[in-house]
Amino acid sequence: MDLISQRAPASPPPAPSSDALPLLRVNDLLWFLYLYPLRTLSALDPRSLIHPIGRLAEPFVQFRSRKRREMVMRRMLSAQGAGITRDQAPRIARQFIANSTFRMLDDLVLGRPSVEGKLRCNGIEGLEHLEQGKSAGRGVIVLTAHFCAGRIAKRYLATIGYPMLSVRDQMPRGDWWGRLGRRILEARRTDLLHAVIGEAAYVQDPGSTLKILRRLRSGGLVNIHFDGQSGTGTMPWPFLGLERRFSTGIFDLVRLSGCAVVPMLCLGRSTAFRVIFGPLMDIVKAPGREAFIRDNLPTFVQTIEKQIRDHPGEWEQWTSF
């Protein structure tokens, strides 16, 4: 049976038309505070200003996100493979909301042109695995899941000589704005995200795969979030006890380019984070596209499942799981 399904790359869902929106929402005010005064403060001294503000704001954010937190708890419990008990779920869900908040604050830090001295890395483990992958000269795919510290880690790694091309979906239009927010704030948010993410290949771009291949053939690094669901081909596989469709494009890239694959886990916040590289993934060189995917997908899934089971509060995808 052919389990790989092909589809056109999903475009971000259309945002509601402006006419249907109220003039102003509470979210507009919060986004205004985030994109203007907070962003300006972040330019001055992020470490001593932004994170204390985050700590002060956390009770308010937890209160405002209570429905989201409940949804996250339900999803944690329905994903039985995550091994989260009823007793643990409320604490991990609170942690998830707090981490999401601090990730947004860290984005303000990363949005600055220079982050020199602003990111405090507590350690990088397993860098020798990345070096080993690079030494073959065919590039390295850095395999990750959506963890809160991923952007911080990538930016830091770029400053020490390991720049990565990020593979991602086109930025979706937010559906949380009122008319004023959409007119005034949305473009500023997009600018910020572009500055935070840096060099990227957007899967909706027809040339994205070639851009990735180009980076790999130059011996460079490409970061792919394996728990993302973008891409034209997908295959279902059990994941944390539920079925999830995984993009198969990564396997095509590995098969065609012969690149190495190194898993990476990033934990923490800009004030204290660490990066852990795992050993090179053992790639099964099965003949043919489908066999190659079938033989390698389970190991890839197990790798990110273990990361999520070990650090469930830092995984960002509970809301879309």
Partner 1 sequence: MDEFLGSAASRVSASPDTLDRIQKVFGESIPVSAGDEDLPYELKLDQAASLDSIAVVEFMMAVEKEFGIAIEPEFIEFDFLRDFPALASYVERRMKGRPDSET
Q: Which of 58, 66, 126, 124 is nearest to 90 (CA)?
A: 66
Q: Which of 217, 244, 306, 309 binds partner 1 (CB under 8 A)?
A: 217
Q: Is residue 258 part of the contact set for partner 1 (CB under 8 A)?
A: no
Q: Is residue 206 part of the contact set for partner 1 (CB under 8 A)?
A: yes
Q: Which of 10, 25, 47, 252 binds partner 1 (CB under 8 A)?
A: 252
Beta carbon nearer to partner 1, 250 or 301: 250
Site string for partner 1, 56-75 (x = CB under 8 A): --------------------
Beta carbon nearer to partner 1, 159 or 170: 170
Strands lying side by side in the sheet with 233-239? 5-6, 233-239, 242-247
Q: Is residue 232 part of the contact set for partner 1 (CB under 8 A)?
A: yes
CA distance 96 to 73: 10
In this structure, the number of other CB atoms found within 10 A of the CB of residue 223 comes to 21
Q: Is residue 137 part of the contact set for partner 1 (CB under 8 A)?
A: no
> Which residues are within 8 A (CB) of 179 and not within 5 positions of it... i.e. 6 or more apart?
18, 21, 22, 23, 24
Beta carbon nearer to partner 1, 188 or 217: 217
Q: Is residue 104 part of the contact set for partner 1 (CB under 8 A)?
A: no
Beta carbon nearer to partner 1, 22 or 137: 137
Find the DSSP H helices in the chain.
Answer: 26-33, 39-44, 46-64, 66-78, 89-110, 127-135, 150-159, 179-180, 186-197, 208-217, 249-257, 289-310
Q: Which of 101, 144, 166, 209 binds partner 1 (CB under 8 A)?
A: 209
Q: Is residue 168 part of the contact set for partner 1 (CB under 8 A)?
A: no
> Which residues are within 8 A (CB) of 193 and not within 5 positions of it... i.e. 6 or more apart?
107, 171
Binding site for partner 1 (CB under 8 A): 6, 8-9, 206-211, 213-215, 217-218, 232-233, 249, 252-253, 256
